[in-house]
A and B are shown apart, each in its own frame.
Chain A
Amino acid sequence: MSTAETHLPVAAASPLTEVLRARIEALAGHQAHPRGACIEALQLVQAEHGWISDEHLREVAVLLRMSPADLDGVATFFNLLFRRPVGRNVILLCDSVSCWLMGRERLQAALRARLGIEPGQTTPDQAFTLLPTVCLGHCDHAPAMMIGERLYGDVDETRLDQALAESRAERVS
């Protein structure tokens, strides 16, 4: 499922900063093999740039003595590593069974009505990307979702509106 929209501008990536490169090299130094640090390294890149561009992936691969194809194989395996641009806020909407039993389909419809996007899409203003996610482990407060790093439970339409407004107001990354 695509996490990108064709209208999202892809800015030319600036090279990784020296600070970030040094952090990645330090992580690699603690591993039996530098590749053991690759997931954390990609997470660092994503934390700074929002996603992982081809240019950044190649830089990380060189630092960790991996081929870019090998590293891309790892990057594309994990759903929390984004190889395409995403909006400022990523909504992870739980689609597992407890949330399904508690009406998560209605929640997805409400998100569609408010943001005009389907799972995998980003709003035209790039404020939100909606991604389905497996069980968030918040089943006693189903239906559940995360926006950025913030977890929301017992989400009905009122709470959904609050959460969206909250995220719009302050960039939750």
Chain B
Amino acid sequence: MSERPLTRNIRPGSLPPDLAAYRAGGGYEGARRALQLSPKEVVELVTQSGLRGRGGAGFGTGQKWSFVPRPVAGRRTTLVANADEMEPGTFKDRLLIEGDPHQLIEGMLISAYAIGAAEAVIFIRGEYRLGIERLHRAIGEAEAAGLLGKDILGSGYDLAMHLHASAGRYICGEETALLTALEGRRATPRSKPPFPQIAGLWGAPSVVNNVETLCNIPHILSRGPDWFRALGIGADSGTKIYGASGRVKRPGLWELPIGTPLDELLEEHAGGMQDGYEAVAVLPGGASTAFLGAHQFAIPMDYPSVEKAGSRLGTGALIVLDQTSCPVGMLRNLEHFFAQESCGWCTPCRDGLPWVERILEAIEDGEGEDGDIEQLERHVGLLGPGRTYCAHAPGAMAPLASGLKLFRAEFEKHLRDRRCGFRA
């Protein structure tokens, strides 16, 4: 059995380890080690580890940190944990938050030290009530034990940690929208550059990291970058929390070496499909990743391999389309989601996504017209990368572009028959 550093303390159905239990298992040793090093040395260790952001974009974590300018007097640098998990089909951060809150806090302490932050904020979606409650308790324990606050572990380093329970909207997961929401404004993303590392929260340097990314940090510090690199199977480092939902026998989450093949996830870990169902295609990493067809199920689930196959690893949460569900209907559901969650700032996104949704709706309801497929294809280009401030619209186009190719015959059948063959 391979090592599972992220989930070693997690026992679904029971309470998470309290501070004493977490420390008894080696917890906060990574933080102790980090505070003995210089911030720059911590950044270097994380860079060497090859850790890439687990929120979906896969940017190198050490590299992301390295863009933060050296501390300037009077400017407060902030670290933000992005716990606004709202990517459809994704539920890994919930497990980490509810199952081992101190692991996240320790990861944040080390990361905040590395970038010279005086303040750390956990931005958590308001629906995660249990997670909010457990984090509150854990932050209180850490403060009482001198692991947060002034002069942490006698190092002279101070860090204040806050919890922000958000009030909804998917777009808040986009890092600049998240920072805008923290400033008490409508959460519209900002144009980049400047990147948050230069001008983030209230114009000061800020780093936004995903929960799973941060939870890896204590282990990299306590076990070293070489150990971390060796955990992955292929090109990437570490483990990944993969998930599966849809008509599989055992939907759930599994911490596995990054690079585990997709078909192994489906067959071995998710237990294969339920009786009478077969997998037609999957979204490999949430709603904003491109479909992979059944002929691509042998690929390793790491960043370069999934990209080579025309999609993205994203959050590593497989959403499985079975043969009884209509692909056009699934795309309609996805594009409804994206249209609704557009912040409304950029015209292509605000006006284009509802148009896409209406066309899909018409096709599924048997009211599609000649030229609808071409109109959808046009939108793939018009809403693609480079035409909007953020990645929302391009993300929405990933399943659509791939779906139009993979399910072309199904689209044409809907138009020809003027009805959805999946409906009774």
Contacts and interface: CB of A to CB of B under 8 A. Distances in A.
B85 A74 contact: no
A40 B164 CA distance: 8
A134 B86 contact: yes
Interface residues of B, number: 56
Interface stretch (B64-72, B180-188, B232-240, B354-362): B180-188
B65 to A, nearest CB: 22
A149 B333 contact: no
B253 interface: yes
B168 interface: yes
A101 B167 CA distance: 26
Interface string A112-152: 00000000000000000000011111111110001001010
Given A35-B184, A39-B167, A137 B334 contact: no
A96 B91 contact: no
Interface stretch (A5-13, A77-85, A157-165): A77-85
Nearest to A35: B184
A78 B168 contact: yes
Contacts of A30: 162
Interface string A8-44: 0000000000000000000000111101111110110
A92 B89 CA distance: 17
Contact of B184 (A36, A100, A136, A146): A36
A96 B333 contact: yes
Contacts of B167: 39, 42-43, 78-81
A109 interface: no
B165 A133 contact: no
A98 interface: yes
Contacts of A101: 245-247, 319-322, 325, 330
B200 to A, nearest CB: 12
A15 to B, nearest CB: 22
A96 B89 contact: yes
Given A42-B167, A80-B168, A140-B253, A98 B127 contact: no
Given A137-B91, A138-B91, A139-B245, A97 B187 contact: no
A79 B89 CA distance: 20
A137 B90 contact: yes
Contacts of A95: 333, 336-337
Nearest to B251: A140
B169 interface: yes
Contact of B127 (A42, A96, A100, A146): A146
Among B126, B165, B182, B329: residue with most chain A CB under 10 A: B126
A88 B19 CA distance: 37
A90 B329 CA distance: 27
B90 A39 contact: no
A56 B186 CA distance: 19
B72 to A, nearest CB: 15
B39 interface: no
A39 B166 contact: yes
Given A97-B287, A101-B245, A139 B202 contact: no
B319 A98 contact: yes
Interface in A47-73: 64, 66, 73
A4 B345 CA distance: 26
A102 interface: yes
Contact of A135 (B86, B93, B182): B86
A96 to B, nearest CB: 4
B94 interface: yes
Contacts of A35: 183-185
Contact of A100 (B87, B164, B330): B330
Contact of A139 (B89, B341, B343): B89
Contacts of A134: 86, 88, 170, 337, 340-341
A102 B247 contact: yes
A78 B287 CA distance: 21
B247 A96 contact: no
Nearest to B131: A137
A80 B86 contact: no
Nearest to A92: B127
A97 B168 contact: no
A74 B246 contact: no
A38 B322 CA distance: 44
Contacts of A138: 91, 94
A96 B86 CA distance: 10
Nearest to A100: B333
- Nearest 7 interchain pairs by C-beta: A78-B167, A139-B245, A35-B184, A79-B168, A96-B88, A80-B168, A140-B251
29 contacts: A39-B164, A43-B126, A74-B185, A78-B169, A80-B127, A80-B167, A81-B167, A81-B168, A92-B127, A95-B336, A96-B287, A96-B333, A97-B89, A98-B245, A98-B246, A98-B319, A100-B329, A101-B247, A102-B245, A133-B127, A134-B337, A135-B287, A136-B127, A137-B85, A139-B317, A140-B91, A141-B251, A142-B251, A146-B127
Interface of B: 85-91, 93-94, 125-130, 162, 164-170, 181-187, 202, 243-247, 251-253, 283, 287, 317, 319-322, 325, 329-330, 333-334, 336-337, 340-341, 343
